[in-house]
Amino acid sequence: MSGARIVWSDAEAVARGAAEAIALALRGHSSEGPFHLALSGGSTPRRTYELLAALDVPWPLLHVWFGDERCVPPDDADSNFAMARAALFDRVKLAPGAIHRMRGELADRDAAAREYERELPRRFDLMLFGVGPDGHTASLFPGAPSLEEKSRRVVAVVGNKPPPNRLTVTPPVLAAARRVLVLATGAEKAAIVRRALVDDVTAAQCPARLLRDAEWHVDAAAFRETEGKVAASAGDEKSARPTPDGAGASPLRRLSRDPGR
Ligand code: 6PG
């Protein structure tokens, strides 16, 4: 993982930058198999999907999955699948069988988790995550036993945010992904972005800490408390090389441990 921190002007620019990064990754996908993308819930991801739907993307290559799901029917307002369907699936032509949803509506939640685990690709080409103000990511909540999971790849959990019953991928799935994008926007995320990227915390205290080496797309407000502290926490971080991160969008700056990227 690149450990890049890409700072955009506002939430709309974060969503656009992320959509363009996904489109670029899909266009550059060289393997013969499908491109496996894991989606998440949240408002910045939703806007990312809407913007992605309007881009020039080789849609037949794309297989979409979910990093987590609320245990509700697929047409419920709380369903991550319902959100992604409205924002993306209904607007583009994906290959038959390319949408892999978690069956959060099943009464036997453990069976639903095991069913998804059997289907899951060995590793994702790209996973997209948001971060909650408490530091949760996917449905890995602070203090949850799922954070200790080493063998199961999808589990049923009870979170501390409604709706509480959820299905989620586990840390080994995050660790195996080829590329992970984390989106965080707004001043209310400033403290948790700092905790995840800079502070000396455990994943149990702040699950988003697991994604410290991922590629973070943040807006200036969410990066406010992290500004100037990243280099110290990341060791050899080099700074400020504004570059286009997609087919036209330019971030305010890009902090990367690998300035050659
Ligand atoms: C959930 C949410 C959550 C979300 C973050 C960030 O199921 O609890 O979907 O995981 O991704 O809270 O959300 P925003 O992008 O809306 O800030």
Q: Is 104 in the pocket of ligand 1 (CB under 6 A)?
A: no
Q: What pLDDT is attached to residue 245?
A: 55
pTM, entire model: 0.92
* SS3 labels along the chain: CCCCEEEECCHHHHHHHHHHHHHHHHHCCCCCCCEEEEECCCHHHHHHHHHHHCCCCCHHHEEEEECEEECCCCCCCCCHHHHHHHHCHHHCCCCCCCECCCCCCCCCHHHHHHHHHHHCCCCCCEEEEECCCCCCECCECCCCHHHHCCCCCEEEEECCCCCCEEEEECHHHHHHCCCEEEEECCHHHHHHHHHHHCCCCCCCCCHHHHHCCCEEEEEHHHHCCCCCCHHHHHCCCECCCCCCCCCCCCCCEEEECCCCC
Residues 6+ apart with CB under 8 A from 172: 149, 150, 151, 153
pLDDT at position 237, please? 41
Ligand 1 pocket test, candidate residues 12, 44, 189, most atoms within 8 A of CB: 44
Q: Report the separation in Å between the CA atom of 73 and the middle of ligand 1, taken as the mean of its atom positions.
A: 18
Measured from the CB, is residue 132 less than 6 Å from ligand 1?
A: yes
pLDDT in tens, 190-235: 999 999 999 999 999 999 999 999 999 999 999 999 998 875 344 3
* Best residue among 131, 140, 146, 160 to mutate for probing ligand 1, ranked by most atoms within 8 Å of CB: 131
Least confident span in 32-46, 61-75, 224-238: 224-238
5-255, what's its fold?
Rossmann fold (3.40.50)
What mean pLDDT is reported for the chain? 92
> What does the pLDDT read at residue 230?
72
**Cα 161 to ligand 1 centroid, rounded to whole Å:** 10
Q: Which tens digit of pLDDT belongs to each residue from 228-237?
A: 887 534 433 4
Residue nearest to atom 14 of ligand 1 (CA): 42
- Laid out side by side, the sheet with 154-158 consists of 68-70, 165-169, 154-158
CA pair distance 223, 245, nearest whole angstrom: 18
Q: What percent of the chain has pLDDT over 90?
A: 84
